[in-house]
Structure 1
Amino acid sequence: MKTIRLRDGKERSLQRRHPWVFEGSITQGHAELGDTVRLESADGRFLGWGAYSPASNIRVRAWSFDEAERIDEAFFERRLRQAIALRDRLAIHSDGVRLVHGEADGLPGLVVDRYGDTLSVQFLAAGAERWQPVIADALLQITGLSRLYERSDVNVRKLEGLAQRTGWLRGEGPTELSITEHGWQLGLDVAQGHKTGYYLDQRDNRQRFAQLVSQLGCRTVLNCYAYTGGFSVAALAGGAAEVTTVDSSAPALERARDNLRRNGFDDAAHHFADADVNAWLRQALADGRQFDAIVLDPPKFAPSAAHAERAARAYKDINRLGLKLLAPGGLLMTYSCSGGVSAELFHKVVASAGLDAGVNASILQRLEGACDHPTTLEFPEGEYLKGLALLRL
């Protein structure tokens, strides 16, 4: 077992059970990609067991802070069982569920989503990659499923010195699936869809949107960056009479159209726009249009805190336009999934957008990811999705 020794004073984050060790915190030691290493303070005290990543600025991700714990097959089976048991206790009313959420479940670099009878998995860090066969076998044993698709095709793997990879790890068959969410039928593709196939983190927010559309009597709804139309389905389920769905991906809009039909909604109640959202919003404003409810759920504008300033300008611009297009008494649900933009900064950006738009609004609710995407007290960086439900005054 190789040892990684930290600089004096750099042990405090590990003592607070934060799982990351940055390159600059290390004074001694080296290992191969994904190797399990012993983490020690400058004076030789045990701090934890972790996975070494020689190419990454996050040089070690901690598996355990228990010196007596061995990092072996039994360890991963135990952690996976704990994570999946938690989701069972949450009694999520959907067959689309996140079973493992990386650091929050004590498994850094591992994401596992279940879509019906299929698991979709991402191995995002060197340690998870090293233990991939063990993790894959344990997942199928615990869940009783036979199909596991890998979606390790994200840029973060490059930072780990890993190539991108996709395809069936276990089993085979069609990658186009459907799940049930709040009684709605939603289609997805684990091979081609965003993330592992779908945005499960917005599950509860889609339901909340349907409730507010109903309670506030919103008749006309605009769904921007709509992807495959989850919020559009929610709007119509909430009683909206007319929904406009805007996205720059024609294939995503086609799946959105299919999702509306799956749920029995009339095509006449829906309009699609294959367009750049920012340009579409500007044209809608020039045309004097207004909507009773608007969803702004853009892609990640800031992958890290270093991009926060540029991202803040982009978030401000779309929220200014959205607030101007919102009818008095209307509802705006606006989100940021950028880990580099804090909830506090996002609030300030949206408030500034309201000032520029000449619009006042009250906060009905602060929004976050669904409960199967937990954030732990020790790892606040896991809180990437934040949002606001606003009522225009």
Structure 2
Amino acid sequence: MNKAIVTLKKGEGRMLKSGGAWIFDNEIESVMGNFDDGDIVLVHDFDGYPLGRGFINRHSKIRVRMLTRNIDQEINEAFFAKRLRDAWEYRKKTVDISSCRIVFGEADFLPGMVIDKFSDVLVFQALALGIDRYKELLIRILREILQEDGIWIHGVYERSDAKEREKEGLSKVSGFFDGKFDTDVEIVENGVRYLVDVKDGQKTGFFLDQKYNRLAIQRLCKDAKVLDCFTHTGSFALNAGIAGASSVLGVDASELAIKQAEKNAELNGLSDRVRFMNRDVFALLPELEKQGEKFDMVILDPPAFTKSRSSVKNAVKGYREINLRGMKLVKDGGFLATCSCSHFMDYELFTKTIAQAARNVHVRLRQVEFRTQSPDHPILWAADESYYLKFYIFQVCREY
């Protein structure tokens, strides 16, 4: 067992002590003992009180990622097997497991690791140096756990190609993990069929976090004219279509995403009612307004406009503009679904921004519901980074 000891400065470690998993470089007083980056170290408070064990990496501002509060806990195969089994049992109780996120990093007490299951294919990301060392072991253990439930994994694809790895001193890696297979994987979610491109799609290929938010819009879309902005591979648009919308227009700036969305519409027999347009949403919405277009439902599912605190001000402008434009296109009594997937655009700021947009276009919003990410992306209190998705549905009222 490695005996290197990290000691915190007096008064530091507040996030850790309230339940978080990260220790930043400026919180550390000293590191005593020999270690290599990626090793497991002991963590002590300034007075020597033991706080737990975690991975250390001098290349990262997140200097230590905690694995356990038990200083006597061996970090071995049995430890990881328990963590993975706990994660899988939680998903079995809370979500449709045909396709789901099985591991959500710190929220599953496996920092820096994401594993998604798409039907019989696993896609994983190792985002931190410490966990990267264990990826072969973790995948083997998880396959064995799934087999116990009669789930045989056909293939595994690595998507460790996120920018976060550069902050850890790691190069980007992607490719087949242990054998080639067709990387267009068919899944079914909420009764909708999709082809998920695990090789070239965004993130791990499909945004599982919106699963039940997509389901929530179905009941509002029967016989409706729907506009789905930032449609990606068509997920909200197809949920509207399968729910009986009279017409759906999905818009995205990515040509690759639009081609995939069109394949998905064809797969569901919806090509006659669900069509897609390869356009910049910010440019298109003013054009639709000038043309006098109105929709029974407008859906806004933009990418994160900010990934750091320093750019939040510009992000607020973007969210306000897109919501303002979206509200203008909703018929009186129609519905607006709007969301933010940026951790830094917190609930209070996002809510305030939507309210400002409503005042600017002189509409009244009647809240239908507020939702967050699907339970397979659990929100761990005190680990703020695990709470990122905010999703509102409003009725837009003009004449009241």
* TM-score bin, normalised by smaller chain: over 0.9
Let me know the Cα RMSD of the aligned residues: 1.3
Secondary structure of the equivalent of 2:111? coil
Report the counterpart of residue 7 of structure 2 in structure 1: 5
% of aligned pairs identical?
A: 35
5-14 vs 200-209, greater mean Cα deviation: 5-14
Query: 8 Å contact 1:93–1:182 — kept in the other structure?
Result: no
Report the counterpart of residue 170 of structure 1 in structure 2: 178
Deviations along 1:34-62, whole A, 9 cap, x unmatched? 11010011111100101112111111110
Secondary structure of the equivalent of 1:171? coil
Mapped pair 1:274 → 2:278: yes
Query: 8 Å contact 1:336–1:346 — kept in the other structure?
Result: yes
Report the counterpart of residue 210 of structure 2 in structure 1: 202
Mapped pair 1:188 → 2:196: yes
Q: 1:258 to 1:94 in 2, by over 3 A?
A: farther
Report the counterpart of residue 22 of structure 1 in structure 2: 24
Mapped pair 1:364 → 2:372: no
What is the alpha-carbon distance in structure 2 between the residues aligned to residue 270 and residue 376 of structure 1? 37
Query: 8 Å contact 1:100–1:113 — kept in the other structure?
Result: yes
- Which residue type is aligned with residue 269 of structure 2? G
Mapped pair 1:294 → 2:294: no
Query: 8 Å contact 1:112–1:121 — kept in the other structure?
Result: yes
229-238 vs 373-382, greater mean Cα deviation: 373-382
User: Structure 2: where are the runs of 5+ without partners?
Assistant: 148-152
Q: Which of residues 37, 43, 47 in structure 2 aligns to 1:43?
A: 47
Deviations along 1:278-305, whole A, 9 cap, x unmatched? 0001111111111110111011111122
Q: Which of residues 103, 106, 118 in structure 2 aligns to 1:100?
A: 103
- Which residue type is aligned with residue 306 of structure 2? A
- Which residue type is aligned with residue 330 of structure 1? G
Report the counterpart of residue 72 of structure 1 in structure 2: 76
Alignment TM-score, normalising by the size of structure 1: 0.96
Q: Which of residues 243, 253, 256 in structure 2 aligns to 1:248?
A: 253
Report the counterpart of residue 121 of structure 2 in structure 1: 118
Query: 8 Å contact 1:5–1:26 — kept in the other structure?
Result: yes
Report the counterpart of residue 147 of structure 1 in structure 2: 155
Query: 8 Å contact 2:253–2:281 — kept in the other structure?
Result: yes
Q: Which of residues 120, 134, 145 in structure 2 aligns to 1:131?
A: 134
Secondary structure of the equivalent of 1:112? strand
Matches within 5 A, 1:205-284: 205-214=213-222, 219-265=224-270, 267-284=271-288
133-142 vs 342-351, greater mean Cα deviation: 133-142
What is the alpha-carbon distance in structure 2 between the residues aligned to residue 53 and residue 290 of structure 1? 53
Query: 8 Å contact 1:87–1:372 — kept in the other structure?
Result: yes
Q: How far 1:147 sits from its partner (Å)?
A: 1.8
What is the alpha-carbon distance in structure 2 between the residues aligned to residue 283 and residue 207 of structure 1? 29
Report the counterpart of residue 109 of structure 1 in structure 2: 112
Report the counterpart of residue 84 of structure 1 in structure 2: 88
Deviations along 1:339-364, whole A, 9 cap, x unmatched? 11101100001111111122211111
Q: Which of residues 51, 58, 67 in structure 1 aligns to 2:62?
A: 58
Report the counterpart of residue 150 of structure 2 in structure 1: none
Secondary structure of the equivalent of 1:213? coil
Mapped pair 1:374 → 2:381: no
Deviations along 1:214-259, whole A, 9 cap, x unmatched? 3xx5x21000100110111111122210111100112211111111
Query: 8 Å contact 1:294–1:333 — kept in the other structure?
Result: yes
Alignment TM-score, normalising by the size of structure 2: 0.94
Query: 8 Å contact 1:6–1:27 — kept in the other structure?
Result: yes
What is the alpha-carbon distance in structure 1 between the residues aligned to residue 363 and residue 375 of structure 2? 32
Deviations along 1:185-215, whole A, 9 cap, x unmatched? 111111111111100001101111112223x
Tell me how many residue pairs correspond in the alignment: 388
- Which residue type is aligned with residue 17 of structure 1? G
Deviations along 1:250-284, whole A, 9 cap, x unmatched? 2211111111121122x332332111110001111
User: Structure 1: where are the runs of 5+ without partners?
Assistant: none
